[in-house]
Amino acid sequence: MSLTQKQREERPGPSVRDEILTTEEVCALLKIKKATLYRHTSQGTGPPFYKIGKHNRWKRSEVLAWFDSHSR
């Protein structure tokens, strides 16, 4: 086993809070419709996202931080 392969196996994986989410997963997490997420995204009022090719992706931690910032 090469050192690089061994290091990879011993390296802890990303935490659940750093998980990368799809549009569908964000909608399920927030319990909102895709149209609502798309509206927030287009208006710049939604959680920060990353454009990967033609797909939007979100970090779970950033979605939850955005959600928490909207508490009353």
Phi and psi at 39, nearest 5°, equal -65, -50
DSSP 10-30: HSPPPPGGG-EE-HHHHHHHH
pLDDT at 9: 54
2-42: pLDDT as tens digits: 555 555 455 555 677 689 999 999 999 999 999 999 999 99
Backbone angles phi and psi of 32, in degrees to 5:
-130, 165
Give the mean model confidence (pLDDT) for residues 36-58.
96
Positive or negative, the CA dihedral 41, 45, 50, 51 is positive
pLDDT at 5: 54
**pLDDT recorded at residue 12:** 57
